[in-house]
């Protein structure tokens, strides 16, 4: 299945907005966190062995660690060279904690500074910094959202940061991002239900229905202004709902390329059936669903709102206009009712996005997404392209 012209022309070939430099970081922090004057800032990152790699920034001379090296070069160094002084900030310290090895899992409390000293996130970091940038391999949005309410800080999670993200999704004008997200949010808020049609290469069309009960749409727009505790997920640019109900079928592309069809009943994925690839991959998923059914509960339905180049990292690619994503697992950070204690094991209490986008899922197409709101019915997406209703909303 070839990529739609919209992606080829407007996204895949879209040049970077600008190179991520000191100006970009200054503008990003100023726009996201205004005010910054007088705020104490720090950076968190993650390693399997944080005591070893954080001491004297040992990771900088080792192979690998691309995210951590980006955190040091583009944030830690630039903060100290000019940006903290320009924005009237203090601090600029960098700490490392243990990798969670799962999306949005709660973090262990120990962390380490550049001198190799062991510290406590709860005692030494969260209470003592006003702004925390979490630049990591694994997303920490959910646990930091909970911690910011306990300790009063503001922050941003930027997991999986690569050069494409730096030069596009983090180098845009976030006032524009917020405005576009709000336009699409208004166009979709109060939706009663969403239907998504997936066209498979074998000619079948699968339909997933999600009941939303007229809830107010939420937005991830990147702004944490004022002094209210909050955590932004960057790059931002998304409108999302917490499903109240779901049923039907949708395709799933596993990490090894295996394709399956997921059967959804009462908001829960109950089984997967092989389309092509490795039967053992599907069997493993079914065993996990049987062992801990909460791992299959749908906790989010999201829609991208930005025109950005594909980064091959879901943190940015799920924010691309014309894509949508579902997520399973915990959704308490989104205002939902699925919390870590509901899972059989701690390591199961993840929030895992399932992104539908041409570069990610070329084996099937989102032929149409429909919204029903009272008597109003609108097409939202056609063939991975925003429909006229969304395009017109962006012009308002």
CATH number (3.30.9, 3.30.160, 3.40.50, 3.90.930) of 18-167 reads 3.40.50
Instruction: Note whether 236 and 227 are within 8 A (CB).
Output: no
Give me the residues paired with residue 298 across strands.
328
pLDDT of residue 390: 96
Residue 27 DSSP label:
H
Q: How far is the C-alpha of 315 from the C-alpha of 223, rounded, in Å?
A: 16
| Helix spans in 34-162 (H) | 50-54, 66-70, 77-78, 84-87, 141-151
Q: Where are the domains of the chain?
A: 18-167, 174-394
Closest CA to 323 of 303, 337, 294: 303
Residue 183 DSSP label:
H
Greatest Cα-to-Cα distance within the chain, rounded to the nearest angstrom: 63
Q: How far is the C-alpha of 222 from the C-alpha of 375, rounded, in Å?
A: 32
Residue 3 burial (CB count, 10 A): 17
Cα–chain center distance at 84:
27
Task: Give 62's contacts (C-beta < 8 A, 6+ positions apart).
Answer: 53
pLDDT of residue 12: 43
* Peptide bond before residue 57 is cis, with ω within 30 degrees of 0: no
* Peptide bond before residue 187 is cis, with ω within 30 degrees of 0: no
pTM recorded for the entire structure: 0.93
Q: Left (φ > 0), alpha (ψ -120 to 50) or beta: where does 60 sit?
A: alpha
DSSP SS3 for 151:
helix
Q: How far is the C-alpha of 299 from the C-alpha of 250, rounded, in Å?
A: 15
pLDDT of residue 19: 77
CA dist list (Å): 208 to 126, 262, 380, 391:
41, 10, 15, 24
Q: How far is the C-alpha of 371 from the C-alpha of 162, rounded, in Å?
A: 34
Torsion, Cα of 134, 138, 140, 141 (10° steps): 100
Per-residue pLDDT of the chain in tens (396 residues, 90 and over written 9): 333 444 444 444 444 445 799 999 999 999 999 999 999 999 999 999 999 999 999 999 999 999 999 999 999 999 999 999 999 999 999 999 999 999 999 999 999 999 999 999 999 999 999 999 999 999 999 999 999 999 999 999 999 999 999 999 999 999 999 999 999 999 999 999 999 999 999 999 999 999 999 999 999 999 999 999 999 999 999 999 999 999 999 999 999 999 999 999 999 999 999 999 999 999 999 999 999 999 999 999 999 999 999 999 999 999 999 999 999 999 999 999 999 999 999 999 999 999 999 999 999 999 999 999 999 999 999 999 999 999 999 998
Instruction: Note whether 40 and 91 are within 8 A (CB).
Output: yes
């Amino acid at each position: 299945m070839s990529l739609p012209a919209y992606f080829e022309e407007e996204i895949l070939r879209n040049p970077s907005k600008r190179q991520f430099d000191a100006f970009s970081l200054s503008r990003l922090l100023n726009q996201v966190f205004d005010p910054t004057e007088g705020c104490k800032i720090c950076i968190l990152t993650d390693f399997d062995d944080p005591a070893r790699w954080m001491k004297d920034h040992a990771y900088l001379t080792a192979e690998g660690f691309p995210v951590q090296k980006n955190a040091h070069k583009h944030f830690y160094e630039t903060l100290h060279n000019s940006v903290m002084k320009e924005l009237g900030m203090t601090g600029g310290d960098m700490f490392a904690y243990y990798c969670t090895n799962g999306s949005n899992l709660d973090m262990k409390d120990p962390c380490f500074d550049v001198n190799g000293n062991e510290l406590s996130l709860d005692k030494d970091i969260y209470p003592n910094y006003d702004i925390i940038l979490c630049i990591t391999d694994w997303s920490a949005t959910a646990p930091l959202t909970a911690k910011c309410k306990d300790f009063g800080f503001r922050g941003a999670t930027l997991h999986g940061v690569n050069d494409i993200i730096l030069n596009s999704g983090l180098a845009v004008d976030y006032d524009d991002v917020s405005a576009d997200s709000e336009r699409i949010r208004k166009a979709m808020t109060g939706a009663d239900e969403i239907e998504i049609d997936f066209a498979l290469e074998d000619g079948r069309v699968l339909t997933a229905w999600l009941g939303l009960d007229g809830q107010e749409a939420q937005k991830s727009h990147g702004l944490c202004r004022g002094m209210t505790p909050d955590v932004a997920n960057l790059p931002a640019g998304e409108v999302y709902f917490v499903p109240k109900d779901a049923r039907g079928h949708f395709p799933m592309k596993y990490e090894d390329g295996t394709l399956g069809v997921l059967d959804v009943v009462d908001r829960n994925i109950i089984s997967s059936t092989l389309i092509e690839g490795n039967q053992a991959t599907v069997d493993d998923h079914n065993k996990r669903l049987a062992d801990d059914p909460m791992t299959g509960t749908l906790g989010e339905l999201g829609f991208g709102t930005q025109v950005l180049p594909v980064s091959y990292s879901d943190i940015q690619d799920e924010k691309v206009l014309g894509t949508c994503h579902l997520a399973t697992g915990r959704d308490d950070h989104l205002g939902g009712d699925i919390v870590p204690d509901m899972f059989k094991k701690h390591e199961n209490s993840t929030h895992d996005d399932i992104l539908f986008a041409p570069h990610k899922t070329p084996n099937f197409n989102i032929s149409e997404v429909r919204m029903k709101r009272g008597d109003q019915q609108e097409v939202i997406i056609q063939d991975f392209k925003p429909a006229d209703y969304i395009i017109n909303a962006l012009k308002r």
